[in-house]
Structure 1
């Protein structure tokens, strides 16, 4: 059974959207947040990722009255039929369409943690057609298999982490640190080490200039 580490994030009075800070995680960090969420490990209070059903409302509804241009959320994928490997992708009158087959996201040791898939919102004839983009992060089958063996029950296996933004929103490409030799299998020791990581340093300070007038 996975030994999860319970920890209390440092109490800070400002919110995740405090001026001077921004949430700009790498693909690898997002995959680790998803892993911790799936096994019910607590995330730091400064991580602005909430649980939302992205297939319940149209994408622009989630952005209504929000100031951020990009939304991060955990959402559950629902299968078309029991035993079927395909998931429901429709929402309202539109649907999220895959744009690629997915890119492997690897750990610092080269293990495949999961995959990142690009999707685009499609609603032909609408002003919203193609104007909403999603990056969907999902755990690999190998990681899920190990979690099944170690956990008594896991009700969040079909959850993914999504990054949704307007097409004309600001976007900066994630850069992973250095070349790593990729391997398909992940060792139990490495997986447990990631699970035990308290996920520190999730917010990066934005450089500012102090000008005296």
Structure 2
């Protein structure tokens, strides 16, 4: 489902020039926490569920093009089925390589940890330099079945 198809023409006019630039806290609390984990709907923002994010090369994924996001930038809900981020794609093999450790996302007042994040860069097998594609996975701290349900911020070169 498209992220902006939920609001009508009048509401779209109110959002002219608006871009989606959430903070890490907003991604955890409002996008991932409330909308996905709590299964409540946001009438303005409906992010897509992406089932093939780890199955295809990032440039082979179909992306919803909208003025809501910056060029070559998307957000998706993804259910991770395992720890491996290896990609056996149509044009090449590759992997999403972690850039550092899993880190905390803290509340605005810096008093509590509200989530976790990890950044990745896509490498084509046999290449020593990254492809230019990056991804950040955001996790909630609910400790339950949603540990494998992440919000991914994908950026192209």
User: For the superposition of Structure 1 and Structure 2, which TM-score range results when normalised by the shorter chain?
Assistant: 0.7 to 0.9
Deviation at residue 120 of structure 1 after TM alignment? 0.4
Larger Rg: 1
Give the secondary-structure state (helix, strand or coil) at the position aligned to 2:27: helix
The whole-number CA distance in structure 2 between the counterparts of 1:27 and 1:162 is 11
Write out aligned runs for 1:79-118 (5 A): 79=82, 87-92=83-88, 93-109=93-109, 110-118=111-119
- Provide TM-score, normalisation by structure 1: 0.56
Deviation at residue 46 of structure 1 after TM alignment? 2.3
The whole-number CA distance in structure 2 between the counterparts of 1:112 and 1:99 is 20
Encode CA deviations 1:53-102: one digit per residue, 9 max, x unaligned. Answer: 211222112256836320100101112xxxxxxx1211221111100102
Aligned to 1:70: 73
Write out aligned runs for 1:1-213 (5 A): 11-13=7-9, 14-15=11-12, 19-32=16-29, 33-36=31-34, 37-42=36-41, 44-53=42-51, 54-62=53-61, 66=65, 68-79=71-82, 87-92=83-88, 93-109=93-109, 110-125=111-126, 129-140=130-141, 143-144=142-143, 148=144, 154=145, 156-167=146-157
Deviation at residue 48 of structure 1 after TM alignment? 4.8
Question: Unaligned stretches of 5+ in structure 1?
Answer: 1-9, 80-86, 149-153, 168-213
The whole-number CA distance in structure 1 between the counterparts of 2:122 and 2:58 is 8
The answer as to whether partners of 2:48 and 2:76 remain within 8 angstroms in 1 is yes
Q: Which one scores higher on RCO, CA 8 angstroms, separation ≥ 6?
A: 1
The whole-number CA distance in structure 1 between the counterparts of 2:108 and 2:64 is 38
Encode CA deviations 1:130-151: one digit per residue, 9 max, x unaligned. Answer: 31001110123xx32xxx5xxx
The whole-number CA distance in structure 1 between the counterparts of 2:121 and 2:7 is 38
Question: Unaligned stretches of 5+ in structure 2?
Answer: 1-5
- Provide TM-score, normalisation by structure 2: 0.74
**RMSD between superposed Cα atoms in Å:** 2.7
Q: How many residues are matched?
A: 137
